[in-house]
Amino acid sequence: MMYAHFPVIAVMGLFLGAFLVEIFGTKNKYIRNTIVMIFVLLAAVLTFALIKPVMVNGEIITYWMGSWEPVEGWAIGIGYEVDALGLFFGLFCAATFVLSAIYSFRYMDSDDHLGHYYTLFLMLCGGVLGLVFTGDLFNMFIMVEIITFASAALAAFRNYKFGALEAGFKYLVIGSVGSSMILFGVALIYLQTHTLNIAQIGNEMAGNLTPVTILALGLLIMGFSVKAFIFPFHTPVVDSYATAPAPISMMFSGTVNKIGVLGLIRVLYQMFRVMDKEAMQMTLVVIGMATMFIAVTCALAQHRLKRLLAYHSISQVGYVIMAIGLATPLGVTGGLFHAMNHTVFKGLLFLCAGAVFYAAGTTNMDKLGGLSKKMPLTCACFIVGAFAISGIPPFNGFASKWMIYLAAYNKGMETGNFLYIAATIVAVVTSVMTLASFIKVTQTVFFGQLKATNDYIRDVPLSMRIPMWIGSALCIFLGVGYNFVNKTILNPAMNAAFSAERYFDVMMGDPAAASAGTNYTINLSVWNPILWLVLFAIVFAAVAIAIITTKKTVGKVMLSGSDNQDPDGKYAVFFSGERSQYSHVVGSDMFWGFRKNFSKYFDVFHKFHNGNVNDYATYCVVGGIIITIIVFIFVR
């Protein structure tokens, strides 16, 4: 049972690292980087070491802080309980920590106060990992607090940038509204069940939900929804992701909103076990649909790269929430898988956005153009990420979205409830609109004509490129080999989510119960590998032919707007005879047909996002009230 201590070592290591970096790391760059690297790698290695026991053998690791074992079946101390669900989230969060750390060494080296940066960074990582492994409700609240404050500070880290402080402030206000709701809920639960251990609470409240606990349920759902930045509570996301440095945006969109999702799953599936009720499922699906559609349409109207990516994070989390709301084995698997995929490709996209910012100095799409000639590798990674997020078959976005559609439609067929059919339709249309907005970005930023003033741009240094390559490789591997991923990681995580009783028995001290309970399995046998092998050979041959045949026909690189306007007529772009001048079609000119038809819709959301914090706070509270009312009426 050596690995019982791994989770605690990982979490505490990160906090210790934060402490050490603050002391030693402020002066010398190399000490700081090594400390950060040590502790982040330590956490990652320990988390990955847990795969064998938890995922493969199916055990659930329990660890009592200060070995305060439960007395006569009553949990007193803080208990860590690492089941497959928690570890699943822990895995890709730990991977994100490592990639983000490597990326930020080079990306942030021109900033100052890096000591504080890395302290906050490690605090954020510690908070996320702590929440993932904890089995104690109040400990979960503490970790949420740490994450909120670390994120607020990191969002406003580059305070000289326009809107950074405002973003940090908004994040703080909305985040603390959410946290206070969670605290209020936790207090109510403690009042009722006299314990803070999730498993025990679940066992106590199974079946007999008193009005107070239902209020607590409403508040917890609202609190964690704020953390997951779902529709009514998504407002601070856009500003904070945009102004935060790229590795931090990657952490936000990869891990921070995923812990909100994990919190929701724990609350709904394991603590209150309300997910078998039809009303609860429908509310989650409706919230998911709303988040998806509204976020992606707002994304289409953006012309700043990071704001667009932020809106997409919200819409993808909407997918995850909808999938989890289905409460069917395939649905939850799809949801979890999409959560992982989203962390991977959204991280990749934010890193590419960071690379563009690092090289070109701005992420305002109207000023950029034709960067693919100067930054070919970043462009390639961005295209892989864009295809992954819009769900193009060979990539990982497709695999999870495919599961979600199948699950939603199956649920609709079984229950005969038209809402799930509408959910499938909205999901597909949202996926096409995601593709549309990313086509807009690739055309505006990477392809099209290079501005003469952007001639100085060079590709980013190697240490920033490695995380991007790893990200793209993961995108492709997860997309093609998702059967393998399903068997090893996804199935156990999904079964863990469904088996709340097993979660309780093991917590209360008999590890043998780990293998009890029903285990669902999903067969997804669409791609047979042989065909893919042959197809890959054909594509490879085609690429070779394509490259060979165009050896001799390319002219000099032409910089539009510069002096050599017209290298020689033959290879200049066709301007119906005119000299080729700079006429780059930027993002805001695109999709005229779509925007004209949606103009009234966009006016509504223009007014909705008016940027003042009080309105955002009211949206949160109103959203919370509505959820609580729904929970009161329906979930009894």
Residues constituting the chain: 636
Residue of the chain from 124, 433, 478, 489 that contacts another protein (CB under 8 A): 433
How far is the C-alpha of 461 from the C-alpha of 479, rounded, in Å?
A: 28
Residue 231 is a binding residue for another protein (CB under 8 A)? no
Q: Least distance in Å: CB of 586 to another protein? A: 9
Question: Residue holding tokens 């991007």?
Answer: 468
Residue 634 is a binding residue for another protein (CB under 8 A)? no
Per-residue mark of binding to another protein, 118-147 (x: CB under 8 A): ------------------------------
Other CB atoms within a 10 A radius of the CB of residue 411 amount to 24
Residue 604 is a binding residue for another protein (CB under 8 A)? no
Residue 593 is a binding residue for another protein (CB under 8 A)? yes
Q: Which residues contact 497 (CB under 8 A, 6 or more apart)?
A: 85, 265, 269, 270, 332, 336
Q: Least distance in Å: CB of 440 to another protein? A: 8
Contact 386, 431 (CB under 8 A): no
Binding span for another protein by CB under 8 A among 21-29, 44-52, 229-237, 392-400 = 392-400
Per-residue mark of binding to another protein, 342-381 (x: CB under 8 A): ----------------------------x-xx--x--x--
The encoded tokens of residue 617 equal 């706070």
Question: Smaller CB distance to another protein: residue 435 or 470?
Answer: 435
Residue 402 is a binding residue for another protein (CB under 8 A)? yes
CA angle 62, 63, 69 (to 5 degrees): 100
Contact 525, 513 (CB under 8 A): no
CA-closest candidate to residue 29, choices 124, 133, 117: 117
Q: Least distance in Å: CB of 159 to another protein? A: 37
Per-residue mark of binding to another protein, 147-186 (x: CB under 8 A): ----------------------------------------
Residue 30 is a binding residue for another protein (CB under 8 A)? no
Other CB atoms within a 10 A radius of the CB of residue 431 amount to 24
How far is the C-alpha of 265 from the C-alpha of 321, rounded, in Å?
A: 9
Q: Least distance in Å: CB of 473 to another protein? A: 19
Question: Smaller CB distance to another protein: residue 110 or 597?
Answer: 597
Question: E strand or H helix at 81, and its extent?
Answer: strand 79-82
Residue 31 is a binding residue for another protein (CB under 8 A)? no
The encoded tokens of residue 174 equal 């909305």
Contact 338, 319 (CB under 8 A): yes
Residue 452 is a binding residue for another protein (CB under 8 A)? no
Binding span for another protein by CB under 8 A among 79-87, 91-99, 465-473, 569-577 = 569-577
DSSP state, 552?
S
Q: Least distance in Å: CB of 601 to another protein? A: 12
How far is the C-alpha of 116 from the C-alpha of 103, rounded, in Å?
A: 17
CA angle 542, 545, 551 (to 5 degrees): 145
The site for another protein, by CB under 8 A, has a size of: 90
Q: Least distance in Å: CB of 534 to another protein? A: 5
Question: E strand or H helix at 33, and its extent?
Answer: helix 29-49
The encoded tokens of residue 420 equal 């799930």
Question: Smaller CB distance to another protein: residue 570 or 607?
Answer: 570
Tell which positions 504-563 bind another protein, by CB under 8 A. 523-528, 530-531, 533-535, 538-539, 542-543, 545-547, 549-550, 553-558, 560
Question: Smaller CB distance to another protein: residue 458 or 579?
Answer: 579
Residue 212 is a binding residue for another protein (CB under 8 A)? no
Residue 1 is a binding residue for another protein (CB under 8 A)? no
How far is the C-alpha of 386 from the C-alpha of 443, rounded, in Å?
A: 12
Residue 455 is a binding residue for another protein (CB under 8 A)? no
Question: Smaller CB distance to another protein: residue 353 or 404?
Answer: 404
Question: Smaller CB distance to another protein: residue 212 or 543?
Answer: 543
Residue of the chain from 27, 418, 512, 604 that contacts another protein (CB under 8 A): 418
Contact 330, 400 (CB under 8 A): no
Q: Give φ, ψ of 81 to 5 degrees.
A: -135, 110
Contact 332, 466 (CB under 8 A): no
Contact 110, 249 (CB under 8 A): no
Contact 355, 388 (CB under 8 A): no
Q: Which residues contact 43 (CB under 8 A, 6 or more apart)?
A: 10, 11, 13, 14, 94, 97, 125, 129
DSSP state, 503?
H
Residue 303 is a binding residue for another protein (CB under 8 A)? no
Residue of the chain from 413, 452, 629, 633 that contacts another protein (CB under 8 A): 413
Q: Least distance in Å: CB of 533 to another protein? A: 7
Q: Least distance in Å: CB of 291 to another protein? A: 19
Residue of the chain from 592, 604, 607, 610 that contacts another protein (CB under 8 A): 592
User: Could you give the angle at which helices 376-389 and 329-360 cross, rounded to 10 degrees?
Assistant: 160
Contact 85, 493 (CB under 8 A): yes
Residue of the chain from 67, 518, 576, 614 that contacts another protein (CB under 8 A): 576
Residue 429 is a binding residue for another protein (CB under 8 A)? yes
Question: Smaller CB distance to another protein: residue 462 or 545?
Answer: 545
Residue 571 is a binding residue for another protein (CB under 8 A)? yes
Residue of the chain from 8, 279, 425, 626 that contacts another protein (CB under 8 A): 425
Residue 476 is a binding residue for another protein (CB under 8 A)? no
Tally the C-alpha atoms within 13 A of residue 375's C-alpha that lie toward its C-beta. 35
Question: Smaller CB distance to another protein: residue 23 or 526?
Answer: 526
Q: Least distance in Å: CB of 401 to another protein? A: 8
